[in-house]
Amino acid sequence: MAHCSAESEMEKSPWICHVCDFKSADTESQACDLCFRVTCELHLRPASVYNKDNGLYETARVCIVCGSSKS
Ligand SMILES: [Zn+2]
Ligand SMILES: [Zn+2]
């Protein structure tokens, strides 16, 4: 029962934006800092997020879904 599955190429895996379903395998995937879902560059923007641990606002990368749901 020899099961050899050598995966030597694990550099960049394909990803898909959860907002617009944009797919890419050439660039690095980026994730929203709030929902941690993979988001493309178009739908990821810097935003100030309140850190309750230290009471400071920090710059995070937030997807437009999380950004628009914030009042
Ligand atoms: Zn997108
Ligand atoms: Zn998000």
How many whole angstroms from 71 Cα to the centroid of ligand 2? 14
Is pLDDT at 69 greater than 90 in this prediction?
A: no
Going along the chain from its start, the domains and CATH numbers come out as: 15-69 (3.30.40.10)
Q: Indicate which ligand has the atom closest to the C-alpha of 66.
A: 2
Q: pLDDT band for position 64 (50/70/90)?
A: very high
pLDDT at 58: 93
How many whole angstroms from 58 Cα to the centroid of ligand 2? 15
How many whole angstroms from 70 Cα to the centroid of ligand 1? 19
How many whole angstroms from 50 Cα to the centroid of ligand 1? 24
pTM (2 d.p.): 0.70
HEC states along the chain? Answer: CCCCCCCCCCCCCCEECCCCCCEECCCCCEECCCCCCEECHHHEEEEEEEECCCCEEEEEEEEHHHHHHCC
CA 17-35-32 angle, to 5 degrees, is 55
pLDDT one-digit tens code per residue, 13-63:
899 999 999 999 999 999 999 999 999 999 999 999 888 999 999 999 999
